[in-house]
Amino acid sequence: MSTDTPYRPASRWLFTVTILVGSFLLFMVQPMVARMALPKLGGAPAVWNSAMLVYQALLLGGYAWAHWIGRFTLKRQVMLHGGLLGLAAIISLPVGLANLTPPGDNQVFLFVPWLLLASVGPLLFAVSAQAPLMQRWFADGAPGANPYALYAASNLGSFGGLIAYPLLVEPNMYLDWQSWSWSVLYLLLLLLVIACGVQASRAIAARPVSAISDTDGNDDGTPSPAPGAKTIALWIALSAVPSGLMLSTTTHLTTDIMAMPLMWAIPLGLYLLSFSIAFGEGTLFKGFFTLLAPPMLFLTGGISMLSQGSGGMVIAATSLIMLFTVAVSLHSRLYSLRPAPDRLTLFYLVMSVGGALGGLFCALIAPLLFDWVYEHPLLLLAAALLIPLPPLVPWGNWLKLNAQGHRIVALALALAAVLAGIWLVRAWTGWFREPELAAIALLVFIGLASIGWRLAYVATLVSLMIGFGGAATLETSTTGQRVRSYFGVYTVRDDLETNRRLLSHGTTLHGTQLTGPGQALTATSYYGPTSGVGLAFSQAQRLYGETASIGVVGLGTGTLACYRRPGQQWTFFEIDPAMVEIARDSGKFSFMPRCAQGVPILLGDARLKLLEVPQHSYNLLAIDAFSSDAIPLHLLTREAFGVYQRAITPDGVVLVHISNRYIDLEPVLNALVQQDGWHAMLRHDEPSEQDEELARTGSIWVAMARDQAALDRLVTASASEAGGRGSWQALDTSRKARLWTDDYASVLPLIMTEGFFR
């Protein structure tokens, strides 16, 4: 090399752009493909957890690939990885779902991972390898630079992809456009990766011996020491716990609000953003979040075992803040243990093993082991054992304690916490009376004072968890009142004061049966006689004769079954076998056994099952397939209503339940009326004092038909019901929304912000 030719190391900006583009694509395709899968898989929160497990497994595979090809020359690495990217493009572009049919036996546990692997497995495997690989190539081509800082750029790109999808892409682009746009960007990534490889290769070829530094290992060019087993185990733990917490927090959001990309993206986005802070070169934010994490974990984690009354956006927002602070703290500790750049791909490979183990625990193991979401408090306790614990108040220094003194104080605080926890367990009624408040205040004081002493801190956190509703949650697990399935956690409990038996899905009430004398078959909750569905079903014989045929999508406790009359033909559609067990076979609720003996229940997704029934099977079809407060989007699209039109008679009516705390669904149905030839009337039922005594709640039902005369007959038949309270009204045409299709559905414009603070 000529002495007058300056040596130019690899350019940071090119590698930064490449990593940003790759990470942006990697994490944009996750919600995009999960959104594509909703019509096949329904809106269960576990669908996203299964998707995340697949992504983490492919990330692990990609990191393993990056680590394996690191043994070859850089030129060979460029050829191998460029070939892999090109092969994945040939196999899987444009992005779309594989043509697979869900199994008839409803074994979605296995089907979801297989569908996602077949659809985007090669693409995700190839793209996931580029971030660690680009960092290693940059370290080879720019000796002396810090390649780990590029990981912060990687996670910024990932965060950008996640946020861009629900906020910009999904509301403005059809799925087909999304697929092609992503494919074009993927081809751009392929060119950028090749450019990085060429530039790094030229920099290495032109590099003088004097440019070789200890960043490649030791000063003499030998490899840095390999990490020991304890270090690797700590890397795995510090990666697995934040990954698991991200998924357990996502489960809460998607169960109690909605299974949609925005609710998937928020926890995952915060998780990724935590890497950007932890792996960045600044220390101010790291120090702030490290100091904030212990009190935030204690105050929020202390209520993590409360299984009743723990819903709502305030709790959800607090959980998200806790997730972010704890993730930054744990990832900052992980970053402080990073090896030299020559061990970089091993470090990221072990990190991905930890992330995949956290996902495996939450998505597959926990639902099989636990009847409640015990994985969340367990992960919080694991975080408490791992996060740094800088004391809020340096008691030890003020008291000038020696090592023995520290142990004595820690034991004393732990013992005080256990005693206060026992006091809280005995006093706990679920209401904040003076004994409960005093015990909680004492535990909070001990917990904040114990930060700095690991034993006392963890003991106080456990005491607060158990005392603050945790003992009642554990007790319910021993009584057989709770069951967990792929689709959620269901709890049956008796309220002896009001003579009611309640079914909750997550934290949302899903059905009520009165247990007083002669009240067992009373229509309750959203299904009272003056609700939209109650009016229609009670008039079915008058409208369609004694042999009226009725279909119900969504079983719940089976309350609607008691509108059935002799001679009528009824069918229920239910996706979750656990609900059939609760409503019909467990003996906990008597609606189905007493009112619908022998009525068929078709298991599986309602859209697919309705295609199997003969055309024009039903005069009335009720759509009530809620998953907690979440709505399966695929049941409200134009294609879904095409299935319903096929299933109902020409003069039939579809009744859609749209009661929701967070989302205004009336404009969605109005778009169908305006653009797809449907007619609709709305029934907003407000309960009277007598209704409330009978456990009836307010509800909003929309009756839809292709034949206006069918709606007119329903309105006329309802007019005399309940003293004139059976009135229907036209939809509000002032609130506009785009027509939902399987190719486009966004709830973002329909969010009711006031509902989040109820």
pLDDT in tens, 535-573: 999 999 999 999 999 999 999 899 999 999 999 999 999
Determine how β-strand 601-603 pairs with β-strand 569-574: parallel
pLDDT tens sequence across 166-184: 788 888 888 889 999 999 9
SS3 187: helix
What φ, ψ does residue 147 adopt, rounded to 5°? -70, -25
* Average pLDDT value for residue range 374-400: 87
Q: How many CA atoms lie less than 13 Å away from 217 in the CB half-sphere? A: 8
pLDDT at residue 755 above 60? no
Going by C-alpha positions, the residue among 286, 253, 284, 290 that lies closest to residue 268 is 253
Task: Give me the amino acid identity at 442.
Answer: L
Q: What is the mean pLDDT of residues 243-254?
A: 82
> How confident is the model over 653-694, as pLDDT tens digits?
999 999 887 788 899 999 999 998 899 999 999 888 888 888
What DSSP state is assigned to residue 661?
A: S
Asked, as a colleague might, if the bond just before 261 is cis with ω within 30 of 0, I would say no
| Sequence-ordered list of residues with C-beta below 8 angstroms from that of 747, at least 6 positions apart, any chain | 258, 260, 262, 633, 663
Confidence of residue 201 (pLDDT cuts 50, 70, 90): confident
* Residues across the chain: 758
Distance CA 321, CA 295 (A): 12
Percent above pLDDT 90 for the chain: 42
What token pair was written down for 635?
């049941």
Residues 146 and 223: their CA atoms lie apart, in Å, by 17
CA distances 445 to 303, 325, 406, 612, Å, are: 15, 21, 18, 61
If you write DSSP's letter for every residue of 113-162 in order, what string do you get?
A: HHHHHHHHHHHHHHHHTHHHHHHHHHHHHSTTS-TTHHHHHHHHHHHHHH
Find the mean pLDDT for residues 84-103: 85
Q: Is the pLDDT of residue 6 over 60?
A: no
DSSP at 304? T
Q: What is the DSSP letter of 744?
A: B
Model confidence at 263, pLDDT cuts 50, 70, 90, reads low
3-state secondary structure of 663: strand
**pTM attached to this predicted model:** 0.80
pLDDT (tens digit, 9 = 90+) per residue, 478-517? 888 888 887 778 889 888 888 999 998 766 778 899 999 9
Contacts of 544 (CB under 8 A, 6+ apart): 619, 620
The secondary structure of 329-379 as a DSSP string is HHHHHHHHT---GGGHHHHHHHHHHHHHHHHHIIIIIHHHH-SS-THHHHH
Domains in the chain and their CATH numbers?
A: 12-386 (1.20.1250.20), 395-477 (no CATH), 503-757 (3.40.50.150)
State the pLDDT at residue 724: 56
Q: Has residue 229 got a pLDDT over 90?
A: yes
Q: Can you tell me which residue has the tokens 């009756």?
A: 703
Inform me whether the pLDDT recorded for 189 exceeds 90: yes
**pLDDT of the residue at 428:** 83
Q: How far apart are the first and last CA of the chain?
A: 72
Q: Is residue 752 very low, low, confident or very high in pLDDT (cuts 50, 70, 90)? A: low
pLDDT for 31-80, tens place per residue? 788 778 766 665 555 566 677 778 888 888 888 998 899 888 888 999 99
- Higher-pLDDT residue of 335 and 145 is 335
Residue 678: HSE in the Cβ half-sphere, 13 Å Cα cutoff:
27
pLDDT of residue 529: 92
pLDDT of residue 703: 97
10 within 8 A of 138, measured Cβ to Cβ = yes
pLDDT category of residue 9 using cuts at 50, 70 and 90: low
Q: What span, in angstroms and rounded, lies between the C-alpha atoms of 584 and 578?
A: 10
Report pLDDT for 152: 76
| Distances from the Cα of 693 to the Cα of 522, 531, 721, angstroms | 12, 16, 19
- Say how far apart CA 467 and CA 439 lie, in whole Å: 9
Does the structure show a pLDDT above 90 at 316? no
pLDDT of residue 414: 92
pLDDT at 211 over 70: no
3 — pLDDT class (breaks 50, 70, 90): very low
User: How confident is the model over 284-308, as a mean pLDDT?
Assistant: 88
Task: Considering only residues 106 and 198, tell me which one the structure prediction assigns the higher pLDDT.
Answer: 198
User: φ, ψ for residue 59 (rounded to 5)?
Assistant: -60, -40
Task: Quote the DSSP letter at residue 619.
Answer: E
Q: What's the whole-number mean pLDDT along residues 218-240?
A: 84
Distance CA(170)–CA(31), nearest Å, equals 9
Per-residue b/e over 74-83, b at no fewer than 16 CB within 10 Å? beebbeebbe
* Cα dist from 421 to 253, 449, 460, 757, whole Å: 29, 16, 8, 30
* pLDDT (0 to 100) of residue 257: 54
3-state secondary structure string, 208-223? CHHHCCHHHCCCCCCC
Average pLDDT, the chain: 85
**Given this model, what pLDDT does residue 756 score?**
45
Beta bridge pairs of residue 679: 705
Q: Above 70 in pLDDT, residue 359?
A: yes
User: Within a 10 A sphere around the Cβ of 347, how many other Cβ atoms?
Assistant: 26
